Structure 1
Amino acid sequence: MNLLDKALAPLFPGFVAERLRARNVIMAFEAATVTRTHRAKKQTKSADASLNKTLKSLREQCRKLDEDHDIVTGLFDRLEERVVGGPGIAVEPIPLGYDGTIHAAFAAAIKALWGEWSLTPETSGELTRPQMERLMCRTWLRDGEGLAQMLMGKVPGYDHLHGVPFALELLEPDYLPIDYTDLSKGIVQGVERNAWRRKRAYHLFKGHPGDQRGIFAQNTKRVPAEQMIHIAHRKRIGQNRGQPLLHAVLIRLADIKDYEESERVAARISAALAMYIKKGLPDDYIPPAEGQVRAERTFPIAPGIVIDTLLPGEDVGMIESNRPNPFLEGFRNGQLKAVAAGTRGTYSSVARSYDGTYSAQRQELVEGQLGYDLLQHEFIDYWCRPVYRKWLEMAILSGQLVVPVDVDPRTIYGAFYQGPVMPWINPVHEATAWKLLVEAGFADEAEVARSRQRNPSELKASRKAEIAANRESGLVFSSDYYHQIYGKNQPNDDEKQRAADAATGIDKPDE
């Protein structure tokens, strides 16, 4: 309390308490006050209004950095690897029968047809499904959004490449004009919505605006929302368009690039050996004779050279440089840590620096995997699930797939989506942990297979074929437990149970 509060406290304690409470409230929100050291920049616009004039610039800057900046290229490469991976997002169909078990025959038929369609899923026929998913993932994260038009059934001028009449036309977000708004028709930034913000249609350019095809490319066409997939990286409620992942670190990345370029130029200049002749006192200067022109002098550099042509008072000096800058790496690494924090990445992955301890690297890997998992689930929700469900619908409607009568129709579209998983740092410890979990009943074999990015049903089929081939060849390994005990004789049910109990360490008394 100040002197006035102390004087009034015995007489008006309630009034003094209100003064103190008001003072605390004011001090608690002092961050909202603009001061000389606190600019208090504010964002008062809506999500759509804030992107109206900035989205195009942000998108173009990110693309340029992806073209020219090695750090940004490596960042998006790593995100592709951790979100989609080499084999793409695996889809494991799990249709159920009326008894609640997986209908293996129908699931296998779906898997086989899906694998065939995955060879050329998009309209040009140039990309496989994993390639298409990686390209769309990069576009989504770099540009903030990506588009695809679904071609279903008979389409004028297009011939489907598969028996399933379904293909995807990949489109960059430039096809969706950011400045096309007509509130009377419910169109905002090229997207048409109803009063409840449900999408009704997309208004797309007929050609890429960057192709310089004239005014004809600027004409738009209305595509119903049921035929479009729009994957967007949104950060605010009600945001219509997506924003690039690098939006918060663009300035930092540009500064790093410019700073490194300046340091490289300085290092190249300092690498050029430069010498000079230091003159003596003015009294030592000997002017040339009348009519004589003194030629420029050069000194050949060689081991053991002796320079004896210096004039009185002259000396040979060398221009020294403090490049390369010894503080460059520390400063650069500090900036890259901030870049990793703003892009859901990890410092080791962005900087390609793996010189930490085992514990530190594992902690970073575990925490970084949470960010990768989040992006992976968003990509599955935005892209993989709509593509698979619409493809399966067209496969059934076209007669390429016939639903068995004993399949529960409510489970036809059920599937498990599997992307890249966190790699094992210590395989022995990881495998031991999984083994203990399975034996204790806290995990199942399918979960272990998926943790290693394997399809459980394919793994079991491969194991069965492998064991059968080994038995035919007379090979016995520790994985074939029954064969080690009983040989070629097939065990009965009681013997199978005793073998299973022995494998899990459970001893039962003989009855």
Structure 2
Amino acid sequence: MLLKSFKQLFKKPKIKSSAWDASGSGRRVMYWQPERSGINSLLAHSIETLRSRSRDMVRKNPYAANIIDTIVANCVGTGIKPQSKAKDPEFRKKVQELWLKWTDEADSCGASDFYGLQSLVCRSMIEGGECFVRLRNRKPEDGFSVPLQLQVLESEHLDNKSNQTLANGNVIRSGIEFNRLGQKEAYYLFREHPGEGSFGESVRVPASDVLHIYKPLRPGQIRGEPWLSNVLLKLY
């Protein structure tokens, strides 16, 4: 036994065919055929299925629902509460009063306040991979303390099937219009949620009026991936 161990020390090491085990072609990885497409191509073909399965899992699986609840609570907490740094105390007081009035009027649907919207946006981003907030300017006669409201839209509102090159050279990819510099120019959004029956054609909304909230995982990624994508099969 001792002699065998001693000979093992001087045994010529086996030369690997690859510098990395994962780049080899042995039995363990012979059926591993990864996708080589870019992240945007992958999401364009998979986002609708991933999103619907993610939402279905959160509705039906208490563990998935608890994961979402925990992340939202940790991310949002008590919410964004800005404080004026103006030196004039009377001005600071008026700004704070105006802010508090606006937080109650912020939701264009009137179902929540600004702090409730923060949780809703975070939840929608995690569950669906992304969320859109459309800035809705209001007229003075509408009677709001600040002529601005926020409309929260789920990922399904973006027209994923809209892909074309426009006459001005701009390109529409997965419902987002880009100029020649690669900057976002507009979003093509459905007025109604596609899952609510008749939703008609999408409309062009300037990018300056839309907040696109998602977590990019790779350079150049233009759409968000549902956060539960990697564990959906384990939860199923």
TM over 0.5: yes
Alignment map for 1:279-428 (pairs within 5 Å): none
Q: Out of 72, 85, 94, which is 1:109 matched to?
A: 94
Alignment map for 1:54-453 (pairs within 5 Å): 54-85=46-77, 87-95=78-86, 102-154=87-139, 160=142, 162-184=144-166, 185-213=170-198, 217-254=199-236
SS at match of 1:151: strand
Distance 2:110 2:124 in 1: 19
Count of equivalent residues: 219
The Cα shift of 1:178 comes to 1.6
Structure 2, unmatched stretches of 5+, are 1-12
The Cα shift of 1:35 comes to 2.4
- Maintained 8 Å contact 1:33/1:40: no
Alignment-mate amino acid for residue 94 of structure 1:
K
**What RMSD, in angstroms, separates the aligned Cα atoms of the two structures?**
2.1
Alignment-mate amino acid for residue 165 of structure 1:
P
Cα separation, partners in 2 of 1:154 and 1:34, compared to 1, 3 Å: farther
- Maintained 8 Å contact 1:122/1:169: yes
TM score, norm. by length of structure 1: 0.41
| CA deviation profile, 1:146-167 (whole Å, cap 9, x unmatched) | 1121112439xxx745221001
Report the structure, 1 or 2, having the larger strand content. Answer: 2
| Pair member with larger Rg | 1
Distance 2:92 2:71 in 1: 31
Distance 1:57 1:161 in 2: 42
Distance 1:218 1:241 in 2: 22
Distance 1:103 1:198 in 2: 40
Report the structure, 1 or 2, having the larger helix content. Answer: 1
- Could you tell me the percent identity over the aligned residues? 26
The Cα shift of 1:110 comes to 2.0
Alignment-mate amino acid for residue 29 of structure 1:
W
Distance 1:120 1:34 in 2: 61
| CA deviation profile, 1:10-69 (whole Å, cap 9, x unmatched) | xxxxxxxxxx9xx56x44234212322114432311111010111011110111111111
Structure 1, unmatched stretches of 5+, are 1-19, 96-101, 255-511
| CA deviation profile, 1:170-199 (whole Å, cap 9, x unmatched) | 211111022211134410000001122211
Distance 2:144 2:102 in 1: 7
Distance 2:187 2:94 in 1: 35
SS at match of 2:82: strand
Cα separation, partners in 2 of 1:78 and 1:161, compared to 1, 3 Å: farther
Matched, 1:48 2:40: yes
Which 4+ stretches in 1 moved above 6 angstroms? none
